[in-house]
Amino acid sequence: MQVKILGSAAGGAFPQWNCACKNCRAVRAGTFHGKPRTQTQLAVTEDCLSWFLLGASPDLRAQIEATPELHPRQKRDSPIAGIALANADLDHVLGLLLLRELQPLRIYATASVRRILRDDNSMFRMMQRIPNQTVWTEFCAGEEFHLCNAREQDSGISCKAWSLASHFPAYVTADRQAQLAPNEASMGFIVQSSAGSRLAYMPAVPQSDDALVEHLDTCDVLLFDGTFWSDDELIRVRGSGQSARQMGHIPVKDTLKRLAGVRRPRKIFLHINNTNPMLDEASPQYRQVRGAGWEVAEDGWQFDL
């Protein structure tokens, strides 16, 4: 299985359009010790012909152009065969609307996420203009499903959904939220190759119970929530607002302790917010992360599993 990190930043990317924090200012000034990043996006393949996206970021068009493997081979024939959605957050689903060009696609989502997108947001009807333009397949928390293209050809890659959080996005009405299953709100994926190697994709983790930590130690690569360094990071930049934990993210400095005993996988932080000091490779926080055996994901990284 080949894995590509097309984007590694949290929502808003780095730099973020309305942000003049220390990091965003320095990257615009060209004085930053580190790299700009697009919003988190993963692509996986087993045969290097059919690719599956984990999420569909608002930066997807530029991310596809930056990745020759994802360029169309013939007149209208993208190698992108399907998308697995972990949640209904805008920075995870807006890219779907960029894929509306009548290319057959399979979209995997929980029933709750499908209802939010297809039933409540009429723009997504652009993906249902002709029969089988997109084939939606539902999965449940805890379920393992095989990634198949719209014609049901199996890629050899399987995905297991791990329920991580019960909060739906703020744009979902209270009436709709009351009809949805909380354990379908936000998932992590354990992606497994046909050879049995495993990748954990967990970009938004509000807490890590012992069962999750134990499971992570069975994986080969861990892509884990690196959104915020500290719990009050965004409050200090904005002057008010929610803590990292209230927004559904364990701060990195706590994860370093909590997952210190997870030794098997290569450990990589992704979904990094532009305010996070570990983006600066000259910072003590970056040194601490590297010293603890973790890496900080960058756009364009790829690995074989």
The residues that touch Zn ion, with contacts defined as CB under 5 A, are: 19, 21, 24, 274
The residues with which 2 forms a beta bridge, in sequence order, are 45, 304
108 CB contacts (<8 Å, ≥6 apart)?
A: 82, 83, 84, 85, 136, 137, 138, 139, 145, 147, 159
Using the minimum distance from each CB to Zn ion, give the nearer residue, 237 or 292. 237
| Nearest approach, Cβ of residue 36 and Zn ion (Å) | 11
| Nearest approach, Cβ of residue 27 and Zn ion (Å) | 9
What's the CA angle centered on 229, arms 223 and 233, to 5 degrees?
135
Widest CA span of the chain, in angstroms?
Answer: 54
291 CB contacts (<8 Å, ≥6 apart)?
A: none
- In 153-190, which positions are buried (b, 16+ CB within 10 angstroms) versus exposed (e)? eebbbbbbbbbbbebbbeebeeeeeeebeebbbbbbbb
| Nearest approach, Cβ of residue 7 and Zn ion (Å) | 16
Using the minimum distance from each CB to Zn ion, give the nearer residue, 21 or 221. 21
| Nearest approach, Cβ of residue 19 and Zn ion (Å) | 3
| Nearest approach, Cβ of residue 248 and Zn ion (Å) | 19
Using the minimum distance from each CB to Zn ion, give the nearer residue, 21 or 272. 21
